[in-house]
């Protein structure tokens, strides 16, 4: 989630002369917005350059209130880290001791991604069709990044994360945590409809479920719906154009930070 701000560019040999520069950058009568707006950027490809396109604000599926989303992402990250550590403790305890890794918090998910697939015996993992350990740990790292960098996620994204986490637990034969992620997926699946019918009841039910899943008290969170403070901006990008050059790359470059 990024904060949309206005920057001043040099008027020569810079962005100000490119096709992506703001129109009339030197005008002094442009009124700047006084209110900070948090945005999500979505990439939409164009088939042709023949007709001008204007970014169009779109209605967002804002899903759960932002603080609740962040709580869930951090919870998923913690459960994944705990499971990776316990799994490694069953199969490679000597290596954990040699590296001085004595708790789940000592090891990043990105470290498990680089380390586990190269060191485990072949029979350690319960295989799943069309999903490798490398792919599952890569998804775990992306979940971690969403939590640490406080990404705004809609309910579809968080449900997908719950399913990805559930599959990794299945590979680890971690039935307890696998059930936790399935429980989370079911609760999120019912949230949209339940919150429309009875908002307070939906909140109470989800809070109770999160306490069971996390096995910790649920902190007091702001359950105010995300309405006016968040918006989605569609950026039209030419097919084949290098998104990294525009600053909108798809690749998560924060994986190892």
Contacts of 111-120 with CB under 8 Å at 24 or more apart are 112/84, 112/88, 112/137, 112/140, 113/137, 113/138, 113/140, 113/141, 116/84, 116/88, 119/92, 119/95, 120/91, 120/92
pTM higher than 0.75, yes or no?
no
The pLDDT, as a whole number, for residue 91 is 96
pLDDT at 40: 54
Q: Which two tokens stand for residue 203?
A: 């909140």
Alpha carbon distance 56, 64 (integer Å): 24
pLDDT at 77: 98
| Per-residue confidence (pLDDT) for residue 104, from 0 to 100 | 96
pLDDT of residue 221: 84
Residue extents of the structural domains in the chain? 2-60+228-246, 66-214
Residue 15: C-alpha distances to residues 22, 23, 79 (Å): 9, 11, 44
**Residue 54: predicted pLDDT:** 52
* Mean pLDDT, contiguous 10-residue spans, the chain (257 residues): 44 44 47 49 45 48 82 97 97 95 96 95 92 97 95 92 98 98 96 89 93 88 67 42 40 48
């Amino acid at each position: 989630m990024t904060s949309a701000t206005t920057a001043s560019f040099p008027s020569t040999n810079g962005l100000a002369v490119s096709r992506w520069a703001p129109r009339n950058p030197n005008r002094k009568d442009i009124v700047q917005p006084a209110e900070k707006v948090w945005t999500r950027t979505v990439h939409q490809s164009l088939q042709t350059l023949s007709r001008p396109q204007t970014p169009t604000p779109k209605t967002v599926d804002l899903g759960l209130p932002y603080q609740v989303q962040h709580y869930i992402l951090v919870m998923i990250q913690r459960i994944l880290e705990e499971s990776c550590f316990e799994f490694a403790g069953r199969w490679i305890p000597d290596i954990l001791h040699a590296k001085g890794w004595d708790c789940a918090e000592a090891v990043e998910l990105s470290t498990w991604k680089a380390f586990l697939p190269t060191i485990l015996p072949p029979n350690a993992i319960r295989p799943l069709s069309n999903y490798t350990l490398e792919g599952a740990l890569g998804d775990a790292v992306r979940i971690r990044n969403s939590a640490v960098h406080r990404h705004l996620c809609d309910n579809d994204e968080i449900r997908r994360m719950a399913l990805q986490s559930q599959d990794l637990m299945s590979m680890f034969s971690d039935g307890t945590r696998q059930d936790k992620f399935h429980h989370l997926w079911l609760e999120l699946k019912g949230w949209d409809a339940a919150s429309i019918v009875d908002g307070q009841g939906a909140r109470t039910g989800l809070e109770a479920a999160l306490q069971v899943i996390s096995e910790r008290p649920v902190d007091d969170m702001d359950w105010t719906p995300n309405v006016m403070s968040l918006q989605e901006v569609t950026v039209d990008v030419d097919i084949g154009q290098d998104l990294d050059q525009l600053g909108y790359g798809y690749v998560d470059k924060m994986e190892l930070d």
